[in-house]
Chain A
Amino acid sequence: MSTWADLVTASLIGTERAGVPRPGLPGLPSLEGASADPAALLLDRAALLATARRAGRRPDHAEPLEAAAPDPRPAVSQAAAGRLARMLGGEHQDLLVEWLTAVMARGQRVPARLLPPLLDWVRPHGPRRLVAEVAGTRARWLAWLNPAWQFVLVETVGDDAWRVGTTADRREYLAALRARDPGAARDMVTRGWAMAGGGERAMFLDVLENSVGPEDEPLLEAALDDGSEEVRGRAGYLLARLPGSALGRRMAERAAGRLRLEGEPPGLRLAVFPPAKADAGMRRDGIPPGPTGGRAGPADQARLMLELVARTPLGTWTRELGLTAARIVALPAGPWTPVLFIGWSRAAAGQGDAEWTAALINRALTSLPVPADTSRYSPAELQPLWRLVRRAEPALGAPGALATPGPDTPLAVRDAIGVLRFRYDMLKELDDDHSAS
């Protein structure tokens, strides 16, 4: 409407220098003579025309979008959707992968409204393939509209990624292959081993971590003699997790007789006989000699004992001492109590031992073994607990599955238990009947 543009131009110049255009719209009064001041006349005509323009607005036209393909999977329940929103907002973000994997396994999908924050979260953080699959056709439709989410459209990483890609590309390729065909991925690693740098060899072992099996043992055993300390350490860690591995048997031999029962019930206690130093065999199995070269100071002995316990199959202790895990972890051991607690916790997290995990968490709940002279908990003592509650069977988070926290249970331990409860609830929500929603 040229009249409006004329008025705007006149208003920019000002009525000191510009005349006031007459509204050229049939039916609108010209307001001539209503006010002697041209400035007032300009504003009055503008008010009339502005309101007429707002009221007389015609609809526009827009290019329609092609509709997204349907996704036959049901959306997760309302409660689960609410929890996802909270997690994307920052609550327990480290559990998102577990949640997404569980949704995937149940053949459900993420509700459409949460796709934008989920895609924004995964873009810098990681499990893009997992998200792309759980998010389904609607996410692909969104990615087609928003270039920032185009990673969803990449179907699979091609062979080129392995030959000429970056370490990140090679990692993604290997992880995808491992998920499809574990043996092929292992062969790929074996073939590529000699050509790869230390950082890459460590990455290979990382990829194997969550699916390590007996067939991987020769590769890992060979990696114990690798030139890179990082690679040796990881190989030792993975072998210690592998039930029945030769490394586990060697550790069990080294552990024999290092914990003994003393006294009579109810005064039963544990006596600890730590190794004097890390010999060549222990060093090969991933127990580092430490800054003092393994000489027998008290701190070094505690460290050696901890590393040994952390790698020893947990069944060794139940067999040697003839007691249940719950009894063993509750036995007093003087200054060794926190060392044993940390070592067992690391072993339980690695070996996925449900009985020991429950026993250790219960022990932390009733009283976390800490040295008497410290009033606070060092991160080193809490860290294994943090890992345990993330790896434990989610059923441990069910109401009544664990001991009730005592009045002295520290907040940090309550927090850790909160993680378990959160995991239990989030998985239960996914199993709840959601046909109602």
Chain B
Amino acid sequence: MTERWDRTRVLALAPDAPSQRTAQQLASGRAWPLTGAAGAAGAAGGAGAAGAAEAGAVWGECRGSAAAPYRTVVDLSGPAYRCSCPSRKFPCKHVLALLLLWADGTVRDDPGGPPDWAGTWLAARAARASPAQPGETAEPKDPRAAARRAEQRETRVAAGLAELDRWLCDQARQGLAASQKHGYAHWDDIAARMVDAQAPGLAERLRALAAVPHSGAGWDGRLLEEYALLRLLVVAGRRQAELPAPLRATVRSRIGFSLRQADVLADGPPVRDRWQVLARRDLEQERILVRRTWLRGAGTGRNALLLAYAPAGGVIGDSLPVGAEAGADLVFYPGAVPLRALVKTRHEISRGGPPAGAPIAGLLAGYATALAADPWLESWPAVLHVTPARRPALAVSDAAGDAVPLHPGAGDCWPLFALSGGHPVTVAGEWTPRGLWPLTAWDEGGTAVPL
């Protein structure tokens, strides 16, 4: 049985803003001659869909431009969707509209269960099932075989590092001038070879490089930085035995060796604090939705980063609300700059006020210290008390007159300007080498506003 979602949760599934708009226009009974739900309020589902119906399912027929109605079905446990429309968006507007109707309570439970076209799909899904967490490795069954596999992987990764080193040096030898003419394949090929070498962290960094030559003025310098830092990672990976343990953990995690969550929780000392939920950012990488939640300990002053994953179009449930203050025991992944953490025990959650904003000089000094320990660190949590400005470029400026630019990818930042009105505001975001990516600001009432 599934509790009814609210509209916000439904709209969060939308792949983009236009989808949200069209779905809301379509979420009207006139467009939906047939709708039904099972398991959403404890009703018995049809025999074929019993498994899925326990978790809840919603279906409907929507009149569209085609002669036959579009048939839309949602398995709420995934959630997973199926729609007969030709849209390539996922989920499509019909799925979103159907869920909005359901969220509004206008879809009634159908004791007869779903119609055949929905029932067969739901039954097939129920038959498969058992979703695995991405990035999670299963408990090893046979320790000796596991040790052998681990050893093989070290060998493969070492060979991959050597290959990447040759590729990087080839780039520097031939010159980067031609990079703007290369297609995606130029980086995807070497990324694919790193996937084969079981170094997914390197592969991800390489795939992201395809966008750099088209990132505007200064692209050549940025591409050189990326190649240089990759070469630094290759060298560090090759010499990892000589490195101190925290730095070695950083290097291995950036290459793509992942730790099992259970091991992290078992090994690390829990850090108890009242964690201020500063900001959240959702990114889509390779059909996976990654949610970064930045925290700061009110007592310890420590920064923490929670990562959560879902398949693209999926829902990341149970996130800490931005602006709240959550009492929790966190366990940090090992590293030269321990940022990534897991929640071990969650205590009370309360409505928090704005965090204390640092001056810009303090942010830059903190980032410099962190870089000294982990030179690959590209996103650093920032909490500033600043006023946005527009000249000579979009920036934020503090009481001391210091300013840092806003990240060009963050757009025109009008909501930040609107909130400020030319007065200082507390802003949280990610500090990167290209500028500040603002994510949250606190309004005059002390309420956190996601930007």
Please give the residue numbers on chain A whose beta carbons come within 8 Å of chain B beta carbons, in ascending order. Answer: 4, 7-8, 11-18, 37-40, 42-44, 46-47, 50-51, 54-68, 75, 78, 86, 89-91, 111-116, 138, 141-142, 145-146, 376, 382, 410-415, 418, 437
Contacts and interface: CB of A to CB of B under 8 A. Distances in A.
A62 B372 contact: no
B46 to A, nearest CB: 20
B182 interface: no
A68 B221 contact: no
B371 A54 contact: yes
A113 B422 contact: no
Contact of B423 (A67, A146, A437): A67
Contact of A116 (B7, B29, B418): B418
A90 B232 contact: no
A382 B443 CA distance: 43
Interface stretch (B251-259, B286-294, B387-395): B387-395
Indicate the size class of the contact surface on chain B. Answer: 35 or more
A56 B389 contact: no
Q: What are the 5 tightest A-B residue pairs by CB atom distance, in nearest-first order?
A: A14-B175, A411-B29, A59-B402, A67-B422, A90-B24
Contacts of B417: 142, 145
A415 B404 contact: no
A113 B173 contact: no
A331 B173 CA distance: 91
Nearest to B224: A11
26 contacts: A11-B224, A14-B176, A40-B231, A46-B227, A50-B224, A50-B229, A51-B229, A51-B371, A51-B375, A54-B371, A59-B402, A63-B392, A64-B389, A65-B422, A66-B422, A68-B423, A90-B21, A90-B23, A113-B419, A113-B443, A113-B449, A116-B418, A142-B414, A142-B418, A412-B29, A415-B28
Nearest to B175: A14
Given A61-B401, A415-B28, 4 more contacts: A14-B176, A68-B421, A114-B418, A412-B29
B232 A44 contact: yes
A59 B173 CA distance: 35
Given A8-B224, A62-B397, A411 B414 contact: no
A59 B364 contact: yes
Contacts of B364: 57-59
Which among A8, A65, A67 has the highest number of chain B CB atoms within 10 Å? Answer: A65
Given A89-B11, A141-B421, A418-B106, A410 B224 contact: no
Contacts of A40: 165, 169, 172, 231
Interface in B396-450: 396-397, 401-405, 412, 414-415, 417-419, 421-423, 433, 441, 443, 445, 447, 449
A43 B227 contact: yes
Nearest to B451: A113
A5 to B, nearest CB: 8
B372 A55 contact: yes
A146 to B, nearest CB: 7
Contact of B172 (A11, A75, A78): A11
Interface string B45-60: 0000000000000000
Given A43-B227, A89-B11, A37 B169 contact: yes
A413 B175 CA distance: 68
A74 to B, nearest CB: 10
A15 B172 contact: yes
A410 B227 contact: no
A86 B6 CA distance: 12
A43 B231 contact: yes
Which among A46, A58, A376 has the highest number of chain B CB atoms within 10 Å? Answer: A46
Contact of B231 (A15, A47, A86, A410): A47
A77 to B, nearest CB: 11
B299 interface: no
- For chain B, what secondary structure do more than half of its interface residues adopt (helix, strand, loop), or is it mixed? helix
Contacts of A114: 418
A56 B21 CA distance: 45
B368 interface: yes
Given A14-B175, A89-B20, A113-B415, A43 B368 contact: no
A257 to B, nearest CB: 37
Interface string B11-33: 10000000011111100111011
Contacts of B110: none
B443 A47 contact: no
B7 A8 contact: no
Contacts of A58: 364
Contact of B447 (A7, A39, A78): A78
A116 B415 contact: yes
B198 interface: no
Interface in B146-186: 165, 168-177
B422 A411 contact: no
Contacts of B220: 8, 11-12
Contacts of B387: 64-65
A94 B83 CA distance: 29
B35 interface: yes
Given A66-B422, A89-B24, A113-B418, A44 B231 contact: yes
B343 interface: no
Contact of A16 (B174, B396, B402, B418): B174
Contacts of A410: 29
A67 B20 CA distance: 34
Contacts of B23: 90
Nearest to A15: B173
B360 interface: yes
A13 B177 CA distance: 7
Given A55-B367, A89-B11, A50 B423 contact: no
Contacts of B171: 39
Interface in B355-400: 360-361, 364, 367-368, 371-372, 375, 387-393, 395-397
Contacts of B170: 39
B389 A145 contact: no
Contacts of B116: none
